[in-house]
Amino acid sequence: CTPARAGEVALIGVIGDKAAVLALDGGDPKTVKVGQNWNGVTVVAVEKERATVEIDGKRRVLVLGQHYRGASAAPDRQSATLAADPRGHFFAEASVNDVPMRFVVDTGASVVVLSAADASRLGVDWRQGPRRMIQTANGATAGYLVKLDKVKVGDIELTNVDATVLEQGLGAVGLLGMSFLNRVEMQRDGQTMTLIRRF
């Protein structure tokens, strides 16, 4: 039978110069040896942190972590592109419940984190949420668990996003934590990070 045409191809890893670890369309990774064809992707060569593959009759060089969108890939999904500041932090000009809000991407935060002042400005009735003590870089502070009706970053709009509101210990920028980031793909290319909504 004719192999399926490749959609979005990602290089997850390499095994010496013998094989590449690939993922198609966000699926499970598979080890593909040099010379082997997998669903329309042929691994031509592997070296260091890159692999040469043949897709749709054309050769492409993928570096580790890079995605390539083939001819049969699904239509473009909601995405947002963020630029790093001089210290390497990625900031997002976002909105919560249609109110502007600035976040910094923080994969170490399990949920989105807001200050009490920002939560009030956004119309979040945070004092009604369950209260717990949260450990921050500045010590322990009271936090309230809430759900945000809508969080939008770039073209990505997510609903019912878990968040914590801190009474103290958070600066003027919120933390875009994993309750948002787990629902998107993160692709970093140097000083640029692209977030793509998962379906």
3-state secondary structure of 51: strand
User: Residue 123 domain-assigned?
Assistant: yes
pLDDT at 137: 65
* One domain, residues 89 and 52: no
> Over pLDDT 90: what percentage of the chain?
45
Q: Which residue has the higher pLDDT, 149 or 61?
A: 149
Query: In the predicted model, is pLDDT for residue 45 greater than 90?
Result: yes
Place of tokens 């996003």: 161
| Alpha-carbon gap, residue 27 to 31, rounded angstroms | 13
Whether residue 106 lies inside any domain: the answer is yes
Per the listing, tokens 């009271």 go with: 142
Into how many domains does the chain fold?
Answer: 2
Confidence of residue 189 (pLDDT cuts 50, 70, 90): confident
Name the more confident of 72 and 16: 16
Sign (positive/negative) of CA torsion 141, 146, 149, 150? positive
Distance CA 99, CA 90 (A): 20
* Residue where a domain stops, chosen among 44, 69, 94: 69
Q: What is the dihedral of CA 190, 192, 194, 195, to 10 degrees?
A: 100
Cβ-contact 54, 41 below 8 angstroms:
yes
Q: What is the mean pLDDT of residues 145-168?
A: 93
Determine phi and psi for 128, rounding to 5 degrees: -85, -10
Q: Are residues 191 and 95 in the same domain?
A: yes
DSSP secondary structure of 103-163: EEE-TT-SSEEEEHHHHHHTT--GGGSPEEEEEETTEEEEEEEEEEEEEEETTEEEEEEEE
Query: Which regions of 2-117 does DSSP assign to beta strands (E)?
Result: 8-15, 19-24, 30-33, 37-38, 41-47, 50-55, 58-63, 67-69, 79-83, 91-96, 99-105, 112-115
Given a cut of 50, whether residue 72 has pLDDT beyond it is no
List, for residues 102-148, the tens digit of each pLDDT value: 999 998 888 999 999 999 999 999 999 999 988 776 677 889 999 99
Domain holding 14, by residue range, is 8-69
- How far apart CA 23 and CA 101 sit, in angstroms, is 34
Say whether both 115 and 31 belong to one domain.
Answer: no
Domain shared by 27 and 124, yes or no: no
Domain assignment present for residue 181? The answer is yes
What pTM was computed for the model? 0.62
Residue, of 95 and 67, whose pLDDT is higher:
95
Beta bridge partners of 141: 134
Q: How confident is the model at residue 7 (pLDDT cuts 50, 70, 90)?
A: low
